[in-house]
Each structure stands twice: as structure tokens, then as C-alpha cells.
Amino acid sequence: MATLSATADSNPFSAIASIHPAMVDPADADGLSVPTIMLASGDEPADDVKKFEEHLKVAKHVEIFKDQIHGWMAARSDLKDEKVKKEYERGYKTVVEFFGKNL
């Protein structure tokens, strides 16, 4: 969703964040002209994430949280697990820092 709105002709956003996205398409990265951060889980195909990062021509931060599941920063997150909780918080902090540096 974030990449779709940011690549549209009239993009109101100054930076975007993609959190454990479904269907990573490296071609989407070509149309991005704003700072982009993508945090992928171990469930997203690492190759697609790598290719997406290579296609990004803007300020970027792409990180794979290999030991986390798709959904670890949202509804599927098991915050009772200390490790998940730590990575959940680290994920959000990483987004805030990226926005702080790039907005």
C-alpha cells in the first residue's frame, strides 16, 4: 500500500515505511522518490527484499529481521515472548529514527 501511494503521480508523503510487506516487488522500488524504510521478517523472500533494496534510488534502510514472523509488528505479534517484544519495539524505534533522519 505504502509503495503504491508513494509512486502515484501526486504523492503526499515525504517518506514511507513498509513493515513485513506481503508481495515484495523490486519493480515497485523503481518508482519511489522519497526516503524508504523496509523492515522484512524471515517469512518474506530474502531475494525479493535484496532486489527491492538494490532498486531503491533514494535514502533507504532495508533490514531483515530473520527470526521474526510475518506480522511481528502487528496483529500476529506475540508480545508475551520477550524476544518478539524486543524486536517489535526495535522495529518501531528503527522506523522513528529513520523518519527523524529523513524528514
Partner 1 sequence: MTGPKNATKAIVVVYDIFGYFDQTLQGADILAHSDDNQKYKVYMPDWFKGKPCPIEM
Q: Is the dihedral of CA 5, 7, 10, 15 positive or negative?
A: positive
Q: How far is the CB of 75 from partner 1 (least distance, A)?
A: 4
Long-range CB contact pairs, 73-76, < 8 A, 24+: 73/19, 73/20, 73/39, 74/19, 74/20
Question: Applying CB under 8 A, does 59 fall inside the site for partner 1?
Answer: no
Which three cell numbers, joined as nine digits, stand for 78? 506475540
Rounded Cα gap, residues 25 and 87, in angstroms: 24
Q: Contacts with partner 1 in 74-93 (CB under 8 A)?
A: 74-77, 79, 88-89, 92-93
Contact 79, 85 (CB under 8 A): yes
Least Å distance, CB 97 to partner 1, is: 7
Rounded least distance, CB 91 to partner 1, Å: 8
With respect to partner 1, which residue has the nearer C-beta, 9 or 100?
Answer: 100
Q: Which stretches of the chain bind partner 1, using CB under 8 A?
A: 1-2, 13, 71, 73-77, 79, 88-89, 92-93, 95-97, 99-100, 103
